[in-house]
């Protein structure tokens, strides 16, 4: 695999690999590095799951394959139910890479900071997010890492695109879906001061979209339990 994998790169730094020249490093998470490059003449994102040295190589390769396949399936499943997600250009399982459409736009986090939490544009987008989350939960999909950095706003539009399905799972468990919402609520609270009305708009839209769905009501009930446990942990330190 690539020689640069053991090196901590800076944002924008060139990272040359024999089979992928001209990479520009964007960010690194616990599971993968993200680069910008081109694929068949189109700007694209390469998400590369790097080897974990603490795991046996065969187990690591097996887990990487499973997670790549899961991420690909979840993105495609979202598209089938009308949820905007990046287009997939190519999946290279042996290299642990998925090639995705490069989205012109900003993260929701940047959008809110630029517009302000009281902006009407933000409130409209929150309602769209509520419908989006109710839809994926109704199809038994849980994103697993809902933050305002994993929602994009396409440039020149108000369309929200859901990204980064690396931790997504399929589950019917209402508590898993409630945790999905709680993670997003905590992201708003920690990143966007005085943003309570924004998250409230998401929940209002979520509840309205799932009004006739028993599973959505079960999720909202579980969310209260998850919040209570979260408050208890905070008080106990």
Between the alpha carbon of residue 188 and those of residues 51, 105, 126, 157, the distances in Å are 32, 20, 12, 22
Share of the chain above pLDDT 90, in %: 74
The answer to whether the beta carbons of residues 209 and 216 sit under 8 Å apart is yes
From the candidates 145, 176, 180, 212, give the one annotated as an active-site residue: 145
- Assess whether 92 carries a catalytic annotation: no
pLDDT of residue 232: 57
Torsion of CA 73, 77, 80, 84, to 10 degrees: -100
Q: Return the closest-CA partner of residue 4 out of 12, 18, 68.
A: 18
Mean pLDDT along residues 193-200:
95
Mean pLDDT along residues 105-110:
96
* Angle (CA) 74 145 83, round 5°: 40
User: What is the band of 66 on the pLDDT scale with cuts at 50, 70, 90?
Assistant: very high
Q: Which domains are delineated in the chain?
A: 3-101 (3.30.200.20), 105-236 (1.10.510.10)
Mean pLDDT along residues 36-40:
92
C-alpha Rg value of the chain to the nearest Å: 19
7-39 burial string, b = 16+ CB within 10 Å, else e?
eebeeeeebebeebeebebbeeeebbbbbebeb
User: What is the band of 11 on the pLDDT scale with cuts at 50, 70, 90?
Assistant: low
User: What is the band of 203 on the pLDDT scale with cuts at 50, 70, 90?
Assistant: very high
**What is the distance between the alpha carbons of residues 22 and 1, in angstroms, rounded to a whole number?**
16
């Amino acid at each position: 695999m690539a020689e640069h994998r053991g090196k901590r790169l800076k944002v924008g730094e060139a990272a040359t690999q024999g089979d992928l020249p001209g990479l520009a490093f964007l960010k690194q998470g616990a599971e993968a590095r993200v680069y910008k490059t081109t694929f068949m003449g189109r700007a694209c994102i390469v998400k590369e799951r790097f080897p974990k040295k603490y795991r046996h190589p065969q187990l690591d390769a097996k887990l990487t394959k499973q997670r790549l396949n899961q991420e690909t399936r979840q993105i495609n499943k979202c598209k089938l139910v009308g949820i905007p997600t990046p287009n997939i250009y190519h999946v290279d399982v042996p290299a642990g890479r998925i090639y995705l459409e490069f989205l012109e736009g900003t993260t929701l986090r940047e959008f809110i900071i630029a517009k302000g939490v009281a902006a009407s544009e933000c409130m409209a987008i929150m309602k769209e997010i509520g419908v989006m989350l109710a839809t994926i939960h109704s199809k038994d999909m849980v994103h697993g890492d809902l933050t305002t950095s994993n929602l994009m706003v396409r440039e020149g539009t108000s369309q929200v695109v859901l990204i980064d399905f690396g931790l997504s799972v399929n589950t019917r468990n209402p508590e898993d879906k409630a945790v999905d919402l709680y993670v997003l609520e905590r992201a708003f609270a920690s990143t966007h001061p005085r943003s309570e009305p924004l998250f409230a708009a998401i929940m209002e839209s979520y509840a309205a979209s799932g009004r006739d769905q028993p599973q959505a009501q079960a999720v909202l009930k579980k969310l209260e339990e998850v919040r209570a446990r979260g408050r208890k942990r905070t008080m106990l330190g």
